[in-house]
Each structure stands twice: as structure tokens, then as C-alpha cells.
Amino acid sequence: MRKLVMTLVAVGATASFATAKEMSEMDVNADGVLSVEEFAAGHSDVDPAVFAAIDGNEDGLIDPAEYEAATAEGGVLADS
């Protein structure tokens, strides 16, 4: 039983890592926010329309709080 739980935890961690990249990895110009171009480059498998869904305050940039909300459970970038 204990081994099964450990396996499930490992699978879950791998899956979420594959989807949610660190913002710092994508923030090419290191200004702390993601532009449309930076987001598209980091998430080539994600529809660009998703950017608008993440950009809650509609300033054309994804800030850390918006990105965190998107990758949290239930967010547009969350698994399943």
C-alpha cells in the first residue's frame, strides 16, 4: 500500500511539471511578467486564446499571480 501511494505521488509530480513551466524559464527579458510572445514560446502546445483567459486584468501581460492562478488546481493550465 505504501509503495502504491509513493508511485501515485511521483506520477502526479511529473505530470504537473510537464504542464506548468516556471515563469522564470519563459521570461526572456526578465521583467517579471510574460508577454504574449514569451508565453507562446514557452507553451507552444497551448492555444494562444488561453493567454487572454490567464490575463485577468487585461493589461496584455501575465504577472506571477495570474500565472499561479492559471497553473493551480482548476486553472486553465492545470492538468485535467
Interface residues with Ca ion (CB under 5 A)? 27, 29, 31, 55, 57, 59, 61
Q: Which is nearer to Ca ion, 8 or 52 (CB)?
A: 52
- Give min distance, CB of 58 to Ca ion, in A: 7
**Are the beta carbons of 49 and 77 closer than 8 angstroms?**
no
Q: Which is nearer to Ca ion, 25 or 45 (CB)?
A: 25
Indicate the residue type of 35. S
Q: Which is nearer to Ca ion, 7 or 57 (CB)?
A: 57
- Give min distance, CB of 69 to Ca ion, in A: 11
Listing DSSP states for 5-50 in one string gives HHHHHHHHHHHHHHH---HHHH-TT-SSSB-HHHHHHHTTTS-THH
